[in-house]
Amino acid sequence: MDADYEGIFETVGQYVQGARTGRSEEMALAFAPGATIYGHDETGLFAGPIRKLLEWNQANGAATGIQASIRSIEVAQTVATVRLEIENWTGHKFTDLFTLLKVDGRWRIVNKVFHQHF
């Protein structure tokens, strides 16, 4: 497997592992400083700094039954996009679209846009 794809899988894996354990400090490793999130949840628009997701993750707790599947990866040198389908994030289902940037040889999520399925 190409080194870029391996790095992207590792980054997305950190994100999923943080959800699985409910430990936001673990999930935060997947994100670049200044990363953002946008999407709609049961309360309406959920938008702002990635800190909002990390706080939600910590409050939501461990999602030991989470199932995640990468559906697509597109890479253009130092930028990439990933589509991730998540089932059973403590009863929630999401489609996540990530934009990643490669900085100093490491892939980090700079933006997450999501759809929560109801």
Residues in the chain: 118
Say which CATH number the domain at 23 has: 3.10.450.50
105: nearest Cα among 81, 82, 78: 78
Phi, psi of 22 (to 5 degrees): 75, 10
Structural domain span for residue 111: 3-117
Count the domains in the chain: 1
pLDDT digits (tens, 9 = 90+) for 3-42: 999 999 999 999 999 999 999 999 999 999 999 999 999 8
The yes-or-no verdict on residue 97 having pLDDT over 90 is yes
Mean residue pLDDT of the chain comes to 97
